[in-house]
Amino acid sequence: MMNKHHTPVLLNETLQYLITNKSGIYFDATLGFGGHSQGILDSLNNNASLISTDVDTDAFKFSKEKFNQEKRIKIYNYNFSQIDLISKIESISSYDGIFADLGVSSFQLDNIESGFSYRTEAKLDLRMDKTKGLTAADIVNSFSEEELADIIYKYGEEKNSRKIARSICEARKIKKINTTTYLAKIIEDITSPNYRMKTLSRVFQAFRIYVNDELENLKKFLKKSVDLLNNGGRIVILSYHSLEDRIVKEDFKFETIDCICPKDFPVCKCDKEKRLNILTKKPVVPSEDEIKNNNRARSAKLRAAERI
Ligand SMILES: C[S@@+](CC[C@H](N)C(=O)[O-])C[C@H]1O[C@@H](n2cnc3c(N)ncnc32)[C@H](O)[C@@H]1O
């Protein structure tokens, strides 16, 4: 039985930063099972609207059903990097608020068929959109040892990347690596018990980020979102690991700069515009109470900025 309960992380803080106009137009880039979308709708008037999208078909279908009586929401099964396309379809030129709660949902982690967890045996896939691109199995069975080590190091920040890549290549000579648990066993066999969970999380995270092109999609989405915010409009992003958070932090910072000319230029020659004011000097993190009640919140960081 699918457990589709997903407690929205930092919900009150998200709403405080995001909502400036109760009759406005909002975008939820990571609909999931609708926790934040529901919270946003509850804070808005009857004439407001919300566009929500999720690249995962199960999340899309579930939320389409959940909100089928709600006239203020439009739901898409698109990648959030296509926010410009979705906005064109909806004839929306600007938003009052754009929100994203990055990563995977508890449902994706708990649902055996999704294959996002190394704890339960499933096909080694890790794609959020099961209709496009290479699966994690395609990668671990065909990429060179060096390519695998680079992925594990770059997207998992795992120091033992070379050793793990070597073991993957040895193991696949004996039997194709087609399941989550087989990949997990290969990693476990060469990792000391104290580091097993962390290493497994990092390696699975690395392949997940790679197959979903998560960091590039995030960069595209952030750039397009700032283009699409109206003056005073807000962008609020929840991230769960340092690679995502660094991209959000650096993107926001870049948008606060009004000149990128080399320091020795006597006059500014660039067309760079300052487009954002950062609202969260330091990222907002969940209270101990929230973490106690929702383990997924433990690594969350919220950053918010305002379009000027
Ligand atoms: C942490 S969950 C969101 C949970 C949601 N806020 C809620 O309260 O139910 C992240 C969701 O974003 C989706 N997602 C991740 N990357 C995406 C992308 N590039 N485009 C669209 N959806 C994406 C995942 O499929 C997942 O359902």
CA distance 16 to 40: 10
Q: Which residue's CA lies nearest to atom 4 of ligand 1?
A: 32
With a cut of 80, say whether residue 61 has pLDDT above it. yes
Average pLDDT over residues 42-64: 96
129 CA → ligand 1 middle, Å: 11
Which residues' Cβ are closer than 6 Å to ligand 1?
Answer: 6, 8, 30, 32-36, 53-56, 59, 79-81, 101, 103-105, 128, 217
Q: Which residue's CA lies nearest to atom 3 of ligand 1?
A: 32
CATH fold of 11-101+214-307: Rossmann fold (3.40.50)
Average pLDDT over residues 114-121: 83
- Select the more confidently predicted residue: 130 or 96: 96
Average pLDDT over residues 103-112: 81
User: What is the pLDDT at residue 15?
Assistant: 98
To test ligand 1's pocket by mutation, which of 5, 14, 54, 236 has the most ligand atoms within 8 angstroms of CB? Answer: 54
User: What is the pLDDT at residue 119?
Assistant: 84
User: 5 falls in which pLDDT band (50, 70, 90)?
Assistant: low
189 CA → ligand 1 middle, Å: 32
To test ligand 1's pocket by mutation, which of 15, 41, 51, 55 has the most ligand atoms within 8 angstroms of CB? Answer: 55
Query: What letter would DSSP give residue 129?
Result: S
Q: What is the pairing mode between strands 49-53 and 25-28?
A: parallel
79 CA → ligand 1 middle, Å: 9
pTM score: 0.95
User: 2 falls in which pLDDT band (50, 70, 90)?
Assistant: very low
3-state secondary structure of 98: strand
54 CA → ligand 1 middle, Å: 6
- Select the more confidently predicted residue: 120 or 241: 241
User: What is the pLDDT at residue 181?
Assistant: 95
User: What is the pLDDT at residue 6?
Assistant: 72
Of the listed ranges 33-37, 116-120, 280-284, the least confidently predicted one is: 116-120
CATH superfamily name and code, 124-212: Putative methyltransferase TM0872, insert domain (1.10.150.170)
User: 11 falls in which pLDDT band (50, 70, 90)?
Assistant: very high
By C-alpha distance, which of 45, 9, 7, 49 is closest to 27? 49
Return the ligand 1 atom nearest residue 28 CA: 6
User: What is the pLDDT at residue 275?
Assistant: 97
Where do the structural domains in the chain lie, given as residue ranges? 11-101+214-307, 124-212
User: What is the pLDDT at residue 7?
Assistant: 87
With a cut of 60, say whether residue 169 has pLDDT above it. yes
By C-alpha distance, which of 229, 255, 273 is closest to 93? 229
Q: Which residue's CA lies nearest to atom 25 of ligand 1?
A: 56
Average pLDDT over residues 224-238: 98
3-state secondary structure of 290: helix
To test ligand 1's pocket by mutation, which of 105, 110, 211, 290 has the most ligand atoms within 8 angstroms of CB? Answer: 105
- Determine if residue 133 is left, alpha or beta; phi over 0 gives left, psi from -120 to 50 gives alpha, anything else beta: left
Q: Which residue's CA lies nearest to atom 7 of ligand 1?
A: 35
pLDDT, tens digit, 9 for 90 and up, residues 79-88: 999 999 999 9
Other CB atoms within 10 A of residue 242 CB: 12
Q: Which runs of consecutive H residues, i.e. helices, occur in the chain? A: 11-18, 35-43, 57-66, 83-89, 106-110, 136-142, 145-156, 161-174, 180-189, 196-212, 214-228, 242-255, 288-293
With a cut of 60, say whether residue 1 has pLDDT above it. no
